[in-house]
């Protein structure tokens, strides 16, 4: 059960959040059409050693839908405001897929608030997604609201949303966002905090691209040496047999993330 749950009034909207566990704060950001429940047992696994703050992004989950264009940059400002609202000077931030884009923009736009950053299945540029993923983005639109009601994502939304009739609002906003191009590579290479890049070996982005992101940050450039003096601050985790549709609940995700966050 959540130790704390509420709505934070930020930037003219209300964001639903849950706080689990205790320790150093870790903001957890779900993927598209989801909610904090998207992390399944990994939520409890991470909360065993951290104060996990699960936020339902704009119009998602328990967050009331709003008539505001959905943009990564705006949602990043929302997350920064939630961190401040909860009284934290800094927090670790983990984002998966859509939430990874928001996490990345939060770190770019508000670097002083992010101690460590974890990007799960989230590229620095839109064109890095596999071709079939990009094609799916292009085919999605408001008309998907009705057929998407047959998915497990809608089943969760139906149980927790304050107004289940706002499902089409979420679908319209998110499918519009997915069509917008972006390339944050130049900003990402300047991130001042340690970053963990995580991807599955059968993910929506190629494993080689995840390795490129790691190298862009300065990782993988040399042997670490026996005393680890050649290590960078950053990390790369390619999870075996993990896809874009189950990496969020893969037990190896929580293990890799906890190891990275707990480094001094």
pLDDT digits (tens, 9 = 90+) for 211-222: 999 999 999 999
Domain that holds residue 25: 4-221+229-261
How many CB atoms are closer than 10 A to CB 205? 21
What does pLDDT average to over the chain?
Answer: 96
pLDDT digits (tens, 9 = 90+) for 89-106: 999 999 999 999 999 999
Residue 128: name the closest of 172, 182, 196 by CA: 182
Query: Who contacts 154 (Cβ-Cβ below 8 Å, separation ≥6)?
Result: 33, 148, 167
Domain containing residue 69: CATH number: 3.40.50.1820
Q: Are strands 195-202 and 114-120 parallel, antiparallel or unpaired?
A: parallel
Q: What is the pLDDT of residue 3?
A: 67
Query: Who contacts 52 (Cβ-Cβ below 8 Å, separation ≥6)?
Result: 19, 20, 21, 26, 28, 43, 46
Number of domains within the chain: 1
Is the pLDDT at 264 greater than 80, yes or no?
Answer: no
CA torsion, points 153, 154, 158, 162, in degrees to nearest 10?
80
Is the pLDDT at 2 greater than 60, yes or no?
Answer: no
d(CA 193, CA 90): 11
Q: Residue 227 — very low, low, confident or very high, per pLDDT cuts 50/70/90?
A: very high
Is the pLDDT at 1 greater than 60, yes or no?
Answer: no
pLDDT digits (tens, 9 = 90+) for 4-46: 999 999 999 999 999 999 999 999 999 999 999 999 999 999 9
């Amino acid at each position: 059960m959540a130790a704390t749950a509420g709505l934070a009034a930020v930037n003219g909207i209300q964001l639903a959040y849950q706080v689990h566990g205790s320790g150093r704060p870790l903001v957890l950001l779900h993927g598209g059409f989801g909610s904090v429940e998207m992390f399944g047992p990994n939520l409890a696994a991470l909360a065993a050693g951290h104060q996990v703050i699960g936020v339902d992004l704009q119009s998602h989950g328990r967050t009331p839908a709003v008539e505001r264009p959905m943009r990564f940059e705006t949602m990043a400002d929302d997350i920064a405001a939630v961190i401040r609202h909860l009284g934290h000077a800094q927090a670790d931030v983990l984002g998966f897929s859509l939430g990874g884009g928001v996490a990345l923009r939060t770190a770019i736009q508000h670097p002083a608030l992010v101690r460590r950053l974890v990007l799960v299945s989230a590229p620095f540029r839109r064109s890095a997604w596999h071709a079939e993923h990009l094609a799916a983005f292009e085919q999605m639109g408001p008309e998907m609201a009705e057929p998407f009601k047959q998915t497990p994502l809608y089943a969760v939304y139906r149980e927790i949303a304050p107004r289940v009739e706002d499902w089409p609002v979420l679908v319209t906003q998110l499918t519009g966002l997915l069509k917008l191009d972006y390339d944050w590579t130049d900003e990402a290479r300047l991130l001042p905090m340690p970053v963990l890049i995580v991807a599955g070996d059968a993910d929506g982005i190629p494993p080689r691209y995840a390795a490129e992101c790691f190298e862009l940050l300065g990782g993988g450039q040399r042997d670490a040496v026996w005393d680890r003096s050649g290590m960078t601050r950053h990390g790369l985790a390619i999870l075996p047999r993990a896809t874009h549709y189950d990496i969020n609940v893969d037990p190896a995700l929580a293990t890799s993330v906890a190891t990275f966050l707990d480094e001094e």
